[in-house]
Amino acid sequence: MSRFFITLSYNGKNYVGWQIQPNGMSVQQTIQEALSVLLRREMQIVGAGRTDAGVHAREMMAHFDWEGEPFTTDELVYKLNNFLPKDICISTIREVHPEAHARFSAISRTYTYYVTTVKDPFLHFYTYRLFFQPDMEAMNRLCGVLKEHSDFTSFSKLHTDVKTNICRIEHAGWEKKGDLLVFTIRADRFLRNMVRAIVGTLLQAGRGQFDEEGLRAILEAGDRNKAGDSAPGHALFLEKVVYPDTIWM
């Protein structure tokens, strides 16, 4: 049995998220069906994580197992890209060691979130437009508080199937790029809805609703209802998933 990692990107606008769900088409289902047709057997793929409805990925990773006639990975990439819709793109397919896992072997994941206060028809579908000017300096001070903590229950969707809500944030911060305010966060793992909940909460702080001590109180409460509303999914991008070099064949 051989295991292969797929590197892919997608525009999440037309999907209910990464994971297969009964209420609509997911990215995972779309790729699985294409792969099953091309390899002529029922295939299953496992992603590096779940992205919510409407969320995009510049780099998502997934794996599948294969036991059968060898195939050329470059040729399979070419065929998949011809078969898949225009909003999903396969970059590479690479063989890895059999114990490598797209989700559990990842050592970090990076997300970005895009905010603007300017009406722009070319950014409309990929940014969250605000009707106030947030205090970026205040929000960055709160990013330092996020890195002090590891329990993010207050920023997790309720009733998930994870065993722990412990995450280690390596980087979090806002920067201005032209008309955009860009939030970047990198951690070893993320809980469901966590990044969007953090962004929504930080934007409240950027409006002066609370300070660093207020964020510490939210984190220590372990209660999703204490944090802010989740920011919309259409402005969130999974940017990169990193693995140890030792997984590659």
Catalytic residues: 52
- In the 8-state DSSP scheme, what is residue 243? -
Burial letters 126-163, b for 16+ CB under 10 A, else e:
bbbebeeebebebbbebbebbeebeebbbbbeeeeeee
Beta bridge partners of 182: 114, 175
* 201: exposed, middle or buried (Cβ count in 10 Å: 0-12, 13-18, 19+): buried
Q: CB 79: neighbour CB atoms within 10 A? A: 18
State the Cα–Cα distance between residues 205 and 200, nearest whole angstrom: 9
Residue 243 contacts residue 213 (beta carbons within 8 Å):
no
